[in-house]
Structures are given as C-alpha cells and as structure tokens.
Amino acid sequence: MPQAANAGRKASIAKRFLPLAVLLGAIGTAFALGLHEHLSIDTLREHRAVLNAFVADNALLAGLAFIAVYALSTALSLPGGVILTVAGGFLFGVTFGVAYVLVAATLGATAVFLIARSALGSALRDRAGPFLQRMEEGFRENALSYLLVLRLIPLFPFFIVNLVPAFLGVSLRTYVFATFVGIIPGTVVFILAGAGLGSVFDQGGDFTVGSVLTPEIIAGLVGLSLLSLLPVAYKRFKAKRAA
C-alpha cells in the first residue's frame, strides 16, 4: 500500500509539472529556432504587400491567425509584443487591431498564469513560509489595484507580471479582468502608431518604440496607474480613522 501511495503521489506530481515542462520546452525551442528574430518592423516592411493582400482577401482567417500567433508569442514569452501590437494596427486598423490584441494578449498571459499556478504556486507558498504568506495576503487584498499598476506601467517585463500573481494566490477572475483592462491604454497607443506605419514606410522613415512612448504618453500611463491605487489609499485612510 505505501508503495502504491508513493507511486500515485509521483504520478500526480508528474502530471502537475507536465504543462510547465512542455511550456519551457516550447520556449527553448522557439528561441533556438530564432523565431523572435522575425518579430521586427523590418519584417513588416519587407512583407508589407503580401500581408496586406492576405488580410484583404481573408479578413476573418487573418484575424484568427493573428490572435493565435500573438497568444502563442505571449505564452512563450518571446520579445516582440510591442512589434506585434504595432502590426495589429498596421494590418487591421484601430478597431479590430485593439480587439485582436486585447483578446490574444489576455489569452496568452492567462495560459502562463494557469500553468505557473498549477505547477509552482502551491509548492512555492508551502516552502516560502510566513513571509510569502504575509505578502500574499497583502497583495490579494488589493490584487486588482496592484495588477492594474503593473499592467499600466511597463516597468517590468510582461512575462514577469504574468508569473508573480500565480505565486501570490490571485484569483483567475481578478487576473483576467486586470490583464484585459490594464493593457488597454498601452495597446491603444501602439495600435494607433501601427495604423500610421504605412505612411512611415512610404516616406522611407524608421519606427522606434521611443518615438511612441513620448513623455506625455508615459505621464498619462503613470497618471492612470496612480488612479488605480486610489482604492488602496482609501482603504488605508479608512483603517487609520477607524483605529
């Protein structure tokens, strides 16, 4: 019986870690093949005519393919999310570009969150002890506000923000909502830039992320993040008054 129980426990652990192993293997393969090197403005410029023609002739298929590529790229943590967002505006315009990117980015981020939570979340919390538990309680109490700040201000890599909530016990509903809402401003900014990329190509100009993230845009994103922290500030103010 003990051997059977031990075998069952090992099988359960293997099953829990299998999705993570598959994801890590896929990430390693993608980087080894250099897939991330194709996510560039030069690629868009070089294949502009072919891509525009395909979208014009196969609007629905092109949209689904874009969502799939974007979600997979996000799940594999490939650098190039900004380029793909710009490509969304370039290929599909503002309305469809924003919609496609929001859906795709949220799907990819949620996949990483679920895999990390299933494979590592509980194990990490059990080993970390009281410190992580206190941090988890504080984060979870204001999870929506904190996640919105992390999504609104691009201080940390997107894949880091995908992983941390999984270790801090954030609910799936809160994570998905905060991800979808939090990436809206930045998505709109880069989609608008992408929508005007054709004229940049026509004039022989170059596109840089720095040309989009102007001080005014950054100030706007910081302002939105501060607004998302108002509920946290109000809770603390109310708690002090009650004390």
Instruction: Check: CB of residue 77 under 8 Å from CB of residue 112.
Output: yes
Q: Helices 81-116 & 2-32, crossing angle to 10 degrees?
A: 180
Domain boundaries, the chain: 2-242
Q: What percent of the chain has pLDDT over 90?
A: 25
Q: What is the pLDDT of residue 71?
A: 93
Separation of alpha carbons 126 and 110, rounded Å: 23
Amino acid at 181: V
Instruction: Check: CB of residue 186 under 8 Å from CB of residue 82.
Output: no
pLDDT digits (tens, 9 = 90+) for 5-29: 555 554 554 555 566 566 566 666 7
Q: What is the pLDDT of residue 207?
A: 73
Q: What is the pLDDT of residue 176?
A: 93
Residue-wise pLDDT tens for the chain (243 aa)?
Answer: 455 555 555 455 455 556 656 656 666 675 665 555 667 788 888 888 999 999 999 999 999 999 999 999 888 888 778 889 999 999 999 999 999 999 999 999 999 888 888 766 555 555 545 545 565 666 777 788 888 888 887 666 777 788 888 878 788 999 999 999 988 988 998 899 888 888 878 777 677 766 777 666 677 777 777 677 666 665 665 566 665
Structure tokens at 105: 């980015």
Angle 43-99-30 from CA coordinates, rounded to 5°: 40
Q: What is the pLDDT of residue 162?
A: 81
Separation of alpha carbons 182 and 204, rounded Å: 34
Structure tokens at 198: 């054709």
Kindly give, in sequence order, each residue whose CB lies less than 8 Å from that of residue 94, ignoring residues fewer than 6 positions away.
Answer: 188, 191, 192, 195
Angle 133-136-142 from CA coordinates, rounded to 5°: 150
Q: What is the pLDDT of residue 53?
A: 94
In degrees and rounded to multiples of 5, residue 196 shows phi and psi of: -100, 10
